[in-house]
Structure 1
Amino acid sequence: MYTESIEDYLKAIYEIQKEQGKVSTNSLSDKLNVAPASVTSMIKKLSEKKLITHKRYQGVKLTKAGQMISLEVIRHHRLIELYLAEALGVPWDQVHEEAEKWEHVLSEDLEDRMDAVLGHPTRDPHGSPIPSRDGTITELDSVPLADLRPGQSAVVVEVSDHDPDLLRYVGKMGLYPKTKLKVLSIEPFNGPIKIEVEDSEHVLGSGAAQYVFVTEVELSQSEMT
């Protein structure tokens, strides 16, 4: 059994590894909002416990043991998010903060019960993959909506849950996982993006479009006419 602080660090390292590749002291400090000196102290502790490896100028990497712990915490977090959304009707912009409170204390028995009640899901309300009990996680290939060009159609795969305001903003446009959209136009110099979602047109800021991840789809013949 590890402390909540250790689990938070391991989860943060996993997420930074996925997003940026290299995990530095500064990136951990920024993500966890703690002083660099505190990060340095924890890195030493995690290394002694063989949960990470750390080499100067090369950053931090999770060991197999460290990754298993991080994925277990992420599994708890995303199952809780989905349970709150589907069983209790909590809005998708509020489940992340609530799950942060419960991810460290969820028992294995309750985890299994929630998993069964939800039908053994593979995605949370934001489209993020839910790791399996054995630590397997299946990522879908996707790109930011901002990378698409006018005329391209796509399906929303995942929306970053880092900002509740962002979730409310894109939610008003119907940009939920599995939603199909089409890019109509893009203003120059990183300007706004006009999209069509279920026969309605919306204008999405280019900054927000960086956090909506999609997979491109081919238009059917009827959609092209």
Structure 2
Amino acid sequence: MKSQPSSSIEDYVKVIYSFTEWQDKPITSSQLAARLGVANSSVSEMVRKLKDQGLVDHRPYGAVRLTPEGERLALTMVRRHRLLETFLVQELGYSWDEVHDEAEQLEHAVSDTFVERLAEKLGHPERDPHGDPIPSPNGRVEHPPALPLGSLDPGHEGLITRISDDDPEMLRYLAREHIVLDTTIHVVRRKPFGGPLVIRIGAGSTAHEFDVPDTIASSLWVHTEAPHEGCTLEQV
């Protein structure tokens, strides 16, 4: 009988998957250490363990990539995490900047039966509070047709469909500015000399302009009907 993966292993494969979910570049050992808040030596030891268990492919000084088995485990953990985040927001009144750390703790403790009953209770949601897709029980992931805000030219408009949850302070700031999922935005212009992107939020008499620095623009993904020439989806 195959033993249950440790919580550390579950964390590692989930972080590896999440790093590459919205862009094509694989994660390195040093990036993995930074994201997990551990020493490089600890990462090297765990990556060797993951490789021995058939969960990652890795060569010395190279990137770390999940094997099909590693991706299956990662998607199981991602499903748990995002369903728990959704439950905490919808049923327990948490704000979207509070749920990540809570879900990190809970995802290792709940059973598969609990997760599926939770999904049923929530009505089988397709995305979490930040717009990230929730994998199906069999590991299928439907990413929304969206592009990073910073890649859009002036004149484009659409709906915000995903907001990175890496920075809770940024989420609180965006909420105060009423920039949330499904907000309608219009790209107005880029201020000169490397200035911020200017967007118009909302429509009609309530519309207002907002300056978006690159650090925020790279965290917002927009569904737009007219992506500009040469801009492609990072993930389908």
The TM-score normalised by the length of structure 2 is 0.87
**Which residue matches 1:215?**
223
Change in CA separation of 1:206 and 1:52 when aligned onto 2, cut-off 3 Å = closer
Measured in 2, the distance between the counterparts of 1:211 and 1:76 equals 23
C-alpha contact 1:190 1:206 (8 A) present in aligned 2:
no
Q: CA deviation at 1:55?
A: 2.2
Q: Does 1:23 align with 2:27?
A: yes
C-alpha distance after superposition, 1:93-134 (max 9, x if no partner): 111121111111121121112101111011000000001111
**Which residue matches 1:200?**
208
Measured in 1, the distance between the counterparts of 2:196 and 2:71 equals 38
**Which residue matches 1:93?**
97
**Which residue matches 2:125?**
121
**Which residue matches 1:14?**
17
Measured in 2, the distance between the counterparts of 1:153 and 1:82 equals 27
Q: How many residues align?
A: 218
Unaligned runs of 5+ in 2: 227-236
Measured in 2, the distance between the counterparts of 1:54 and 1:207 equals 30
Work out which of the residue numbers 54, 64, 70 in structure 2 matches 1:66: 70
Measured in 1, the distance between the counterparts of 2:177 and 2:108 equals 33
Q: CA deviation at 1:179?
A: 1.8
**Which residue matches 2:231?**
none
The percent identity for this pair of structures is 37
C-alpha contact 1:155 1:217 (8 A) present in aligned 2:
no
Matches within 5 A, 1:169-188: 169-188=173-192
Q: Does 1:163 align with 2:167?
A: yes
Change in CA separation of 1:196 and 1:13 when aligned onto 2, cut-off 3 Å = same
Q: Secondary structure at the match of 1:53?
A: strand
What amino acid is aligned across from residue 96 of structure 1 in structure 2? H
Q: Does 1:54 align with 2:62?
A: no
Measured in 2, the distance between the counterparts of 1:217 and 1:89 equals 34
Task: Using CA pairs under 8 Å that are at least 6 residues apart, name the structure with larger relative contact order, 1 or 2.
Answer: 2
The TM-score normalised by the length of structure 1 is 0.91
Q: CA deviation at 1:200?
A: 2.7
Q: Secondary structure at the match of 1:183?
A: strand
Q: CA deviation at 1:53?
A: 1.7
Measured in 2, the distance between the counterparts of 1:189 and 1:106 equals 51
**137-146 vs 50-59, which deviates more?**
50-59
Change in CA separation of 1:190 and 1:206 when aligned onto 2, cut-off 3 Å = farther
**149-158 vs 38-47, which deviates more?**
149-158
What amino acid is aligned across from residue 3 of structure 1 in structure 2? S
Q: Secondary structure at the match of 1:123?
A: coil
RMSD: 1.6
**Which residue matches 1:112?**
116
Measured in 2, the distance between the counterparts of 1:147 and 1:188 equals 16
C-alpha distance after superposition, 1:53-74 (max 9, x if no partner): 2223542221111111111111
Q: CA deviation at 1:50?
A: 1.1
Measured in 2, the distance between the counterparts of 1:215 and 1:181 equals 10
